[in-house]
Amino acid sequence: MSENLKIVPAGAGSGKTYKIEKTLAQWVEDGVVDPGRILAVTFTEAAASELKSRIRSELMSRGRIEEALQIDRAYVGTIHALGQRLLTEHAFAAGRSTKSRLLTEEERELLIRLETSRCVALKPVMKNLKQFGYEWSWTNGRSAEDSFRADLLKTVDILRGLGQRGHSPTILTSVVAGLVEGYGSCVKDGAVLTTTLHQAAKSLLADHPQSLSSQVSSKAAKTDFARDFVNLRRAANSDDLRWDWSLWQKLRALRQTKRRSPTPDGYDDCAQAVMDAADELVRHPGPLSDCKQHITALVTGAQEVLSAYDTAKRRGGLIDYADMIVETEALLRTNPEVLNAVVSEIDCVVIDEFQDTNPVQFSLLWRLAKNAKRAMIVGDTKQSIMGFQGADARLAAALQSSHPDNIDPLDKNWRSDPRIMNLVNTMSPALFSEGYDPLEPKRVETGVTAIEVIALPRTWADRKAHAADCVADRIAALINENEMVRDKQSKELRSVRPADVAVLCYTSKNCSKMASALRARGIPVRIQASGWLESPAIRAARAALAYVSDPGDVYAAMLWMTLGPPRMALEGAMKLALDGSLAEGVALEPLRALHSRAETTPLGDLVAQVI
């Protein structure tokens, strides 16, 4: 296997797809790979479609017409589609139905919410969410419960990304051990530190019982002193210091005398005493205790929810996207006959974007690659962007370290102007501590501006208000003033078109603002947005149709009860579902009445009746 393994580190614009298509075409031309026995895995459907098209075109350009036609028999697709295919083909070995239904995101969330409501391990945190940092967010409108549930779902996804190891109790042991080690030393009893801070806050208020905000003219000083006064009163007149570590943190940075905002005599000394006492937070055992309780609840709760969730799915013949990977990996790992059957059907394995694999994806793909006759693994650890989904670029880096003789890096850049690459090559050694291999620019300079900076207003409020307009104005100028770019196909300079421009924003909200600003200037925009199918009314109608088709579909019933005309609170619908009385509700009776006519009624008429 070793001599037939290629590991290709490929930086941005280095021609990785070109490398893949040329290598595969050469293997086919040499007769060592049958075009219909290629297994190529990408991470998006669009990338899979492009790769298959380019392999076919390359074979045709070499006069291999028959082989080009056989490419349609090859498997070129996403890792999730691969997992679903293998689970379907080997359903009995996997202990699954051959027709497992894929859960929608809404159904998945409802099912996990049901299991969360039963989870005992989460109770210690859920009974006092504020103590563990969960509050209403004015930024995104999330409640404390929503934020906690989001963290739980992230933990569930991370554990699922670890495969079977995600269920092991040793996960929590190692996490807590790392937490304790990273926290550092602390005193055994934090009560003395709490009392000291409490007394310091009382002393300051005894000497200065009124807020200093009315005694200063600066707007910033008024805001700071008003905030400090509120926090000092909480510290002095409540027991919040016993658990509210954010309050301690705020008391570590009280405002004192500044050139334009002097304080009364003695205030600075009292404030310094409070800050000195609050600085002892770093030695207080309370935050560490809360952290341990928090992480214990999240991990054990996620494991409990995950176990119950998996049981419920199997009982209902359901599957979700993570199952396609987790169960396929377990099947190939525990069943050598299935692994051998899969490997016997392929001549080579090609894996793109390997740096974005999580542990269970890595295990699945590497198990196939190391057992195949030929394998090519392409990726760049510096382009790993899927960490929020559990991807770990260290896995790809470890693979390179263990197979140094199989590394065939791409060291040229065919995409960017040399001036851009000079900037990237200059900055990157400082950005990547593990080392950076520069890419040699191969494009010819365009002669026009390659990099520019738009200077936005200085204050945050002005930037927020005007950033979209500033950027949209500049894009409009690029298009209207016929700025030049290099055409990707002809390689010749031509005027900028709207389709040449990509705008990256931090949030979907900012993307929407940018799109509106561009449209206002007559520039066509393509942006992903929630559409007709995702509107509450249509989701309710779809759930109603699903329930008419199958009155035993609890998830459809809950969706319709919460999104449809009944407008029942989710907690109420969940309670009815847990009690087993959801289907008996009067609100569902009109839909149940349609069930008997569903098979004989034309679909258009049935939809009209449901609506």
Query: pLDDT of 549-571, one tens digit each?
Result: 888 888 888 888 888 888 888 88
**Residue 98, C-beta contacts closer than 8 angstroms, at least 6 positions apart:** 88, 91
Q: 10 Å Cβ neighbour count for 195?
A: 12
Residue 386 pLDDT > 70: no
Residue in 591, 162, 65, 224 with CA at minimum distance from that of residue 391: 162
Amino acid of residue 211: S
Q: Token pair 């991470």 is at which residue?
A: 43
- The pLDDT of residue 390 is 67
Residue 156 pLDDT > 90: no
Mean pLDDT of 79-97: 85
Q: 99 in helix, strand or coil?
A: coil
Residue in 57, 67, 3 with CA at minimum distance from that of residue 31: 67
Query: Which tops the pLDDT comparison, 35 or 260?
Result: 35
- For 299-342, write each residue's pLDDT tens digit: 999 999 988 888 888 887 788 888 888 889 999 999 999 999 99
- The pLDDT of residue 177 is 92
Residue 276 pLDDT > 50: yes
Q: 10 Å Cβ neighbour count for 548?
A: 26
Mean pLDDT of 519-526: 92
- For 178-190, write each residue's pLDDT tens digit: 999 998 899 999 9
- The pLDDT of residue 388 is 58
Instruction: Give the rounded percent of residues in the chain with a pLDDT score beyond 90.
Output: 45
DSSP 8-class letter at 407: B
Q: Are 307 and 149 in contact (CB under 8 A)?
A: no
Query: Which tops the pLDDT comparison, 380 or 244?
Result: 244
CA atoms of 373 and 559, how far apart (whole Å):
49
Q: Are 60 and 68 in contact (CB under 8 A)?
A: yes
- For 422-463, write each residue's pLDDT tens digit: 999 999 888 887 778 889 999 888 888 889 988 887 777 777
Predicted confidence band of residue 257 (pLDDT cuts 50, 70, 90): very high
Q: Token pair 């080997």 is at which residue?
A: 90
Residue 3 pLDDT > 70: no
Terminal-to-terminal C-alpha distance of the chain? 60
Residue 495 pLDDT > 60: yes
Residue 385 pLDDT > 70: no
Mean pLDDT of 26-32: 92
Q: Token pair 């770990």 is at which residue?
A: 392
Q: 10 Å Cβ neighbour count for 147?
A: 17
Q: Which of 247-256, 265-274, 441-450 has the lowest mean pLDDT?
A: 441-450
Mean pLDDT of 509-522: 91
Mean pLDDT of 587-603: 87
- The pLDDT of residue 508 is 81
Task: Output b/e per residue, 243-256; b: 16+ Cβ within 10 A.
Answer: bbbebbebbeebbb
- The pLDDT of residue 316 is 78
- The pLDDT of residue 45 is 87
Residue 348 pLDDT > 90: yes
Average pLDDT over all residues of the chain: 88
Q: Which span out of 378-387, 411-420, 575-584 was modeled with the highest average pLDDT?
A: 411-420
- For 89-106, write each residue's pLDDT tens digit: 888 887 776 677 888 777
- The pLDDT of residue 1 is 46
Q: Are 569 and 585 in contact (CB under 8 A)?
A: no
Mean pLDDT of 341-347: 93
Threshold 0.85, pTM exceeds:
no
